[in-house]
Structure 1
Amino acid sequence: MVFALSALLLIELVLQFTWNRRYFSWGIRIFNRRIAAPSDWRERLSLGSLEYDVPRGKCLHLVFRPLPDGSYAFRESFAQRFYSLMRGRVVVDPRRREVRVEGRCSWWALCISLLIFPLMVVRPAAAAMLLMLPYFLVCYLVQKKMFGAVATVIEQQLRGVPSADAILRERLQARRMPQA
């Protein structure tokens, strides 16, 4: 069982590191926020600047990458202090006129959580693993706050608050224009 969990952890780390499209779009969704986005609002959206617009937490930094299907995947940086329990994706859906921020559960954390109680029945000495559950809860609450920050930044962009990308373009354009 230890080898299976270790293999699952390694597979999940490889899929996160390689930004696998299927990995970021499949799994148990534990965070889902739908933001109404009419077509004229969607033009203001700058998903490429989310990494700079989302405020960094004390110990958590999100990294964003575009996926081939047009959505943006995000996960915690590997330079963090705790194991990632969620991965996310931002999907612009013009048909439904919305932007979705989805957070999916880590396979490794889910397997450990489900196996703790059966493992305790077989090996009572494994009761110390119950401490993983409060740890997972704290990590989940921290990451849910960060997912909420991503949704807040997207809402601000849709409402016209300039993104870091837009501010940079304005500054570059101002530098190129000759002074009168």
Structure 2
Amino acid sequence: MDLTFGTPLSQSGRLLQLTTPLGEHQLQALRMHGVERIGRVPRYTLDVVVQDTEYDPEKLIGQPVSLAILCDDGSPAQRHGLVESVRYLGNDGGLHDWQLVFAPWFSLLEYRLDCRIWQDKNLPTILEAVFSLYEQAKGNYRLDLRREYAPLSYVTQFNESDANFVQRWCEQEGLFWYVEHSADK
């Protein structure tokens, strides 16, 4: 596809299709690198081009984005998250290169440190208490547990991020978690 100054960007027919609050064809994805692991926050780095010289990257920080990756069978593999950072990479005359990093809502738990104590609560109740502090978590997780969990006599979080606390207790209790993506969450 020949991109020249003055020709509007289009995502139709591309292997990577990005949807942002800025509009469907505002940013065009060039390449993506992601790391996905069970029990850890998946993070995606996406290089994009922008034609608009008035593009304000700060408008994307904290906003939801969705990336559709076209698979061999023609179906899209969705990746969805909130933009964590935006970085300017340069330009080549008519197009400006930017890099976005996005991750699912669980990544927000990495930014909050807390000191808390729970007494006589079971782990699912504790996890739900932590998740309830995040508006983005509402309706975006499920605890698919196979057994009942006994109350724990004394659980502490001391100067620890909510993410580390949740990961530590899930590992300690033999639980794992993963992210299921869709186009809108």
Band of TM-score, shorter chain: under 0.3
Hey, which of these two has a bigger chunk of strand by percent? 2
Per the normalisation by structure 2, the TM-score is 0.26
TM-score normalised by the chain length of structure 1 = 0.27
Larger RCO (CA under 8 A, 6+ residues apart): 1
Structure with greater helix percent: 1
